[in-house]
Structure 1
Amino acid sequence: MTVVSIIGLGAIGAAHAARIADSSPATQVRVVAAGARAERLRTDGVVVNGTRHLFPVVEPGDPVDPADLVIVAVKHHHLAEAIGQLAGHVGPGTVLLSLLNGITSEEELAAAYPQASVPLAVSVGIDAVRDADGVRFTSLGRVEFGDAVAGEPSTGVRRLEELLTECAIPYIVRPDMIHTLWWKFLINTGVNQVSALLEAPYRVFQAEGPARDLMISAQREVVAVAQASGVDLTAADIDEFLDVLAKLGPGNYTSMAQDALAHRRTEVDQFAGTIVALGDRYGVETPVNRVLLEAFLAKHQLWGVA
């Protein structure tokens, strides 16, 4: 039996867990959680698209055999804690799949668990939303993944293909995954941050106007920093995103906008914070992202989540 461990049962993690449980009955899904959260998941489970799922819950320190696949779906500011909680779930044959935003999580996971395979990956097109009634989604989107260096797919990439096929999770293997990773980063740095700042849905950015202009200004800084670091990102990548943006549900919100509306800590450190730091390293000016970083740090202070 294939064993999948999932840590982070927010909108994205819960949607993937439910898909696997509903579509692959021969696969065992177990959730990694601690303390009160673990007890709540044992008692109440998680509701996805109106169906309550009660997944087996494993707490840190519980004896457990390594999983075939570990899906990491926490926010980045919880990643260090999650890495510690995954001890025991990761063995030499384990594939670690990070569904985190940003461009650094795979490096951190690989450093912590060098015995495992950690392909570069992004989640694209998922529309999962978490609210008081649970998690709902109409599209799981797809996972795009591949190796950091183009060439013959690694053993880890081939194994992840097999596992995602078995789990009924749509995917695409990318030969130039560094570009794809940065393209998703460009998207998030623009629309996620500005939508969260304005607490606005996609419709605000689908029309010409100052909100869309601000989003694109933040993305242009990502292109400049990427090029300075040797990544072949261009203005055409922004245009490609604008085509994608036009097809998104106008009333839907980005995950970061959902966090802002709920006064939860945002992922600004992973977006603006990373771009500002890399801009400083490579001598690239990043004034838009610097202001976004300061604005959200101020919001965190105001919300009491600094």
Structure 2
Amino acid sequence: MNVIKTIAIFGAGAMGAAYAGLFTDNSDIRVCFAARGDRFVRLDGATIKVNGKNYTIPVVHPDRVARPFDLILVALKHHHLTDSVLKDINALTGQNSLVLSVMNGLESEKLLGRVCGHEKIVPAIAVGIDAVHENDCFTYSNPGNIIFGNDPALPNAADTDRLERIKIALDMGGIPNEISPDIQRTMWWKFMVNVGVNQASAVLGASYRVFQNLPEARALMVSLMQEVLALARHRGINLHSSDIDQWLNVLNTLSPDGKTSMLQDMQAKRKTEVEIFAGAVENMGKADAIPTPVNSTFLNLIRVQEKTTAGKTG
């Protein structure tokens, strides 16, 4: 078994910074950020502060890589996974490289596989991490859990050694993790959670505390999730109402002051991922003839908020 000795992280936001700090503190694995252009200039030699501790994480340029990385960890926003970035990710891979995406939504593995090779992709989700980026500082109280597994529809579905390689690396980095026997179900569960809490928090301007304490906020979140549940079951995904209860249990473990990534984007006047949440739900609903009125309403609400906060009211 080839041990993972080098990791490149695409995405130096709250999640990427948290993982980079954990690998640096707890392992001998060489971890780097990967970037080009303005991002490379900003990160090269820069100090980042994670939970009050300063780190100088090396950054590699995709055009200047001497040898492939063992693991590429992709922690980008969906709209940052452009054709050029996909080529950059591929430039860091070799025959034995693995690509682990902790991005939101259901599409990143397909996009990465088309460019890097589906045999290198290990589907994954990150759940429970409450990392926040504010005032040039990154903080988190819960590192969450990375859940990953082999998709039967992809090449190397029977190769458990590659899962063990990733597990050993994450264990060394002090990052809680587990291998899922049904990764498609797991990914749909995370998608359902994101559709609920990310979008409800963005519209309400609410931290996790609001959902922990107010039944009305939880009810709004759950109504978004129930539409995903209907789609999943129609598409043969083994999700049930008890899976919403599972999320509510996770929610109660998060920092009350923690904020979802979509709320952070909204407050920073950045583009949100509403298109891969409510937008995707609406599109699947139309394709499957399943009504999705709550998500369609939130899609319009968040699109309006994005445009008005950016001063694009026409």
Please, what TM-score do these two structures have when normalized by structure 1? 0.93
Q: Is 1:106 the equivalent of 2:109?
A: yes
Deviation string 1:125-163 (CA, Å, 9 cap, x unpaired) is 212111114111222122111112398553432332233
1:87 match: secondary structure: helix
Q: State the 1:270 CA deviation.
A: 1.3
Q: State the 1:208 CA deviation.
A: 4.5
Quote the residue 1:33 is aligned against.
35
Worse-superposed segment, 49-58 or 218-227? 49-58
| 8 A contact 2:90–2:115 mirrored in 1 | no
Quote the residue 2:308 is aligned against.
302
> What amino acid is the match of 2:272?
T
Structure 2, unaligned runs of 5 or more: none
Question: What percent of counterpart residues are identical?
Answer: 38
Quote the residue 1:59 is aligned against.
61
Quote the residue 1:222 is aligned against.
228
Structure 1, unaligned runs of 5 or more: none
Matches within 5 A, 1:143-158: 143-149=146-152, 154-158=160-164
| 8 A contact 2:127–2:144 mirrored in 1 | yes
Matches within 5 A, 1:265-284: 265-284=271-290
Counterpart CA distance in 2 for 1:214 and 1:147 is 33
Deviation string 1:212-246 (CA, Å, 9 cap, x unpaired) is 22111111100001111111111111122122223
RMSD after superposition: 2.0
Moved segments of 4+, more than 6 Å: none
Query: Structure 1 residues 107, 155: CA separation in 2 closer, same or farther (over 3 Å shift)?
Result: farther
| 8 A contact 1:94–1:116 mirrored in 2 | no
| 8 A contact 2:149–2:182 mirrored in 1 | yes
Query: Structure 1 residues 116, 39: CA separation in 2 closer, same or farther (over 3 Å shift)?
Result: farther
Quote the residue 1:159 is aligned against.
165
Counterpart CA distance in 1 for 2:22 and 2:230 is 38
Worse-superposed segment, 42-51 or 125-134? 42-51
Deviation string 1:257-281 (CA, Å, 9 cap, x unpaired) is 1111111111111111111111111
Q: Is 1:125 the equivalent of 2:131?
A: no
Counterpart CA distance in 2 for 1:208 and 1:131 is 25
> What amino acid is the match of 1:204?
V
Q: State the 1:184 CA deviation.
A: 1.0
Q: State the 1:206 CA deviation.
A: 2.1
| 8 A contact 2:211–2:218 mirrored in 1 | yes
Worse-superposed segment, 156-165 or 172-181? 156-165
Equivalent in 89, 94, 104 of residue 91 of structure 1? 94
Aligned residues: 305
Counterpart CA distance in 1 for 2:273 and 2:96 is 31
Counterpart CA distance in 2 for 1:269 and 1:303 is 17
Quote the residue 1:69 is aligned against.
71
Counterpart CA distance in 2 for 1:247 and 1:86 is 34
Counterpart CA distance in 1 for 2:118 and 2:311 is 35
2:9 match: secondary structure: strand
1:61 match: secondary structure: helix
Please, what TM-score do these two structures have when normalized by structure 2? 0.91
Query: Structure 1 residues 148, 305: CA separation in 2 closer, same or farther (over 3 Å shift)?
Result: farther
Worse-superposed segment, 13-22 or 197-206? 197-206
Worse-superposed segment, 127-136 or 52-61? 52-61
Q: State the 1:115 CA deviation.
A: 6.4
> What amino acid is the match of 1:202?
Y
Counterpart CA distance in 2 for 1:224 and 1:285 is 9
| 8 A contact 1:96–1:117 mirrored in 2 | yes
Q: State the 1:200 CA deviation.
A: 0.7
Counterpart CA distance in 1 for 2:195 and 2:242 is 16
